Amino acid sequence: MKSGKELEKPVSERTLPGTMEQPVMPSSKMRILDIRKALPLKKQIRLAVGAFFFTQGLCFASWASRIPDIKSMLGLSDAGLGSVLLALPVGSLASLPLSGWMVSKFGSKKMVINGAVMYSSTLVAIGFISMTWQLIGVLFFFGLFGNLVNIAVNTQAIGVENMYKKSIMASFHGAWSLAGFTGAAIGTFLVSKNIMPAYHFTAIALLCFSLMAISYRFTLRGKISSGSQPVFAKPDSALLRLGLIGFCGMACEGAMFDWSGVYFQKVVEAPAHLTTLGYVAFMSTMSGGRFAGDWLANQLGRKKMLQLSGILITSGLLLSVALPYIVPVVIGFMLVGFGVSSVVPLVYSAAGKSTTMSPSMALAAVSTICFFGFLVGPPLIGFIAEALNLRYSFALVAVLGSFTAILSSKAKLIQ
C-alpha cells in the first residue's frame, strides 16, 4: 500500500513496486497509480528497451554487410582483413570492466543513451575512412562503445524483467537478431544500388537517432537496486560457472556464424547456390527461438531450459557430423540454432541476480568469459580442421554444447 503522501506525488515522480524509478508521461487527470494503469507503462518501458537492442543490432549488421566493399576499397588481402577485424573485439574486451563500472556509477539510463549515440556515430565514421590505420582505430572504438551499450541495455533489461517477475530477456535479444536480419537486408539492397557506405551508414545512424529520441524517455532511470553489493568484487564461483555456460554457448554460436557455410561447401558438398542454406537454417531458428524462449523458460524453468538447450546443440551437431547430407545437416543446424538462442539471455538474466556484485559489474564479468568463447570457438575449429578435418571440429563443438547442459545443472543462480 502506498501512503497518502506518495499518492499525492505527480505521476512522473512515482515508481512501480520493486523496480527502479521509471519515467511516466505527466497527466493531471491521473492522481492514483494502480496496477491496471501501470500495465501500459510497463509495455512502453519494455518496448523502449527493446528499441535500444534493435538499434545496436542494426548498427552492427549494417557494418557487417559492407565489409566486402570496405575490403575492396582499401585493397586488403584476406589475411590483412582478418588482422584489421581484430580491432573490434579488442575494443570490446578493453571496455568490459570500464563499462560495468560506468553503468554502476552513473546508471544504465545515462550510459545506454550515451553509448548508443557514440556507437551510431562511430558507424558513420567507418563510412568515411580512407586508410587502413583509420579503420583499425575506428573499429576499436566501435567495439568499445558497442560493449558499453551491451552492458547498459542488458542492465536495463534485467530491471524490466524484475518488473514482470518472469523471464523476458530472450525477447530483447530477439530484437537484436531481428535487427540483424533487417540490417543485412538493407545492406544487400544498397549494395545492389551501388550506394556508398558513407551514405548507407549515415542513413542508418539517423534512423537510430530517431528511435533513441522516441524511446529514451521511457527507459528505466536510477539504478537497479543491489542492496549492499559492492561495485567492484571478485566474481564468485556461481558467476564463474555462469560465465563458463555462456562461454560454451557462444563458442558454438561463433562456430556456426563462421563455419556453417564452409561445412556445407566442403563436407556436405552442396551445390554453390545452396552453400548458405545451413547459415540461413541456423539463423532462422536462433532468431525464432529467442522469441519463443521466454515462454518455454517460464513453463519449464530456466535451469531445465538451459539443459534442453545444451541437448539440442549437441544433438544437432552430432546429427550433422554423422549424416553429412543436405537434409540431415539442415535439420541439425536448425536444432543448434534453437539450442543456442536462449543460452546467453538466460545467463545474463541469472548474472543480474548476483548477491556479491552489482548487476552491471556481474554482467561485465560474465560477458568477459562468454566473449572469449565467441573469439576462441571459430579459430579452434580452423586448427582442428587443418590437422584432421571439419567433421572432427564440429564433433568438438558438440562436446562444448553438452557442457552447457552439464554446467547448468549445477548453477546456483539459475532456478
Q: What is the pLDDT of residues 246-289, one digit of tens each?
A: 999 988 988 887 788 788 888 888 887 777 788 788 888 888 88
Q: Does the pLDDT value for residue 128 go beyond 90?
A: yes
144 within domain boundaries: yes
Can you read off the three cell numbers belonging to residue 240?
564463474
Pair 179, 283: CB distance under 8 Å: no
Comparing 234 with 191, the larger pLDDT belongs to 191
Pair 414, 408: CB distance under 8 Å: yes
- Residue 227, phi then psi, degrees to nearest 5: 60, -130
> How confident is the model over 343-361, as a mean pLDDT?
82
For residues 175 and 205, membership in a common domain is answered with: yes
Q: Does the pLDDT value for residue 30 go beyond 60?
A: no
Comparing 22 with 382, the larger pLDDT belongs to 382
For residues 203 and 280, membership in a common domain is answered with: no
For residues 256 and 159, membership in a common domain is answered with: no
Q: What's the number of CA atoms in the CB half-sphere (13 Å) around residue 228?
A: 0
The H or E element that residue 73 is part of is helix 67-74
333 within domain boundaries: yes
H-assigned helices in 267-358? 277-300, 302-322, 326-341, 343-351
Separation between Cα atoms, residue 40 and residue 140, nearest integer Å:
40
- Residue 9, phi then psi, degrees to nearest 5: -65, 150
Q: Does the pLDDT value for residue 4 go beyond 60?
A: no
Pair 216, 358: CB distance under 8 Å: no
For residues 141 and 243, membership in a common domain is answered with: no
pLDDT of residue 195: 93
How many domains are there within the chain?
Answer: 2
> How confident is the model over 348-363, as a mean pLDDT?
80
pLDDT of residue 222: 61
116 within domain boundaries: yes
pLDDT of residue 109: 92
**In the 8-state DSSP scheme, what is residue 12?**
G
> How confident is the model over 51-78, as a mean pLDDT?
89
Pair 205, 145: CB distance under 8 Å: no
User: For the CA atoms of the chain, what is the radius of gyration?
Assistant: 22
Q: Other CB atoms closer than 10 Å to residue 384's CB: what's the count?
A: 18
What's the pLDDT band for 227 if we cut at 50, 70, 90?
very low
Range of the domain at 383: 237-408
For residues 267 and 137, membership in a common domain is answered with: no
228 within domain boundaries: no
156 within domain boundaries: yes
**CATH number, position 251:** 1.20.1250.20
User: Between 326-341 and 237-266, two packed helices, what is the crossing angle to 10 degrees?
Assistant: 160
pLDDT of residue 18: 38
Q: Does the pLDDT value for residue 24 go beyond 50?
A: no
For residues 249 and 150, membership in a common domain is answered with: no
Of 218, 245, 273, the residue at which a domain comes to its end is: 218
Of 23, 56, 16, 32, whose CA–CA distance to 154 is shortest?
A: 56
For residues 212 and 246, membership in a common domain is answered with: no
Strand, coil or helix: what is 233? coil
Whole-Å CA distances, 74 to 126, 129, 135, 200 = 12, 9, 9, 18
What's the pLDDT band for 67 if we cut at 50, 70, 90?
confident
For residues 195 and 327, membership in a common domain is answered with: no
pLDDT of residue 93: 82
Whole-Å CA distances, 404 to 69, 307, 310, 395, 399 = 37, 7, 5, 15, 9
Pair 84, 67: CB distance under 8 Å: no
For residues 280 and 389, membership in a common domain is answered with: yes
For residues 124 and 250, membership in a common domain is answered with: no
pTM of the model: 0.76
Strand, coil or helix: what is 221? strand
Of 184, 218, 252, the residue at which a domain comes to its end is: 218
> How confident is the model over 198-215, as a mean pLDDT?
96
Q: What is the pLDDT of residues 305-325, one digit of tens each?
A: 999 999 999 999 999 999 999
Q: Does the pLDDT value for residue 38 go beyond 70?
A: no
Separation between Cα atoms, residue 16 and residue 40, nearest integer Å:
12
Q: What's the number of CA atoms in the CB half-sphere (13 Å) around residue 232?
A: 6
193 within domain boundaries: yes
Comparing 378 with 112, the larger pLDDT belongs to 112
Percentage of residues of the chain with pLDDT beyond 90: 32
404 within domain boundaries: yes
Instruction: Tally the residues of the chain.
Output: 415
230 within domain boundaries: no
Of 186, 218, 250, the residue at which a domain comes to its end is: 218
For residues 90 and 62, membership in a common domain is answered with: yes
Q: Which residue has the cell 557430423?
A: 321
DSSP assignments along 142-173, one per residue: HHHHHHHHHHHHHHHHHHHHHHHTS--HHHHH
Identify any residues that bridge with 21 across adjacent strands, giving them in sequence order: 15, 221
For residues 108 and 200, membership in a common domain is answered with: yes
Of 393, 367, 366, 364, whose CA–CA distance to 380 is shortest?
A: 393
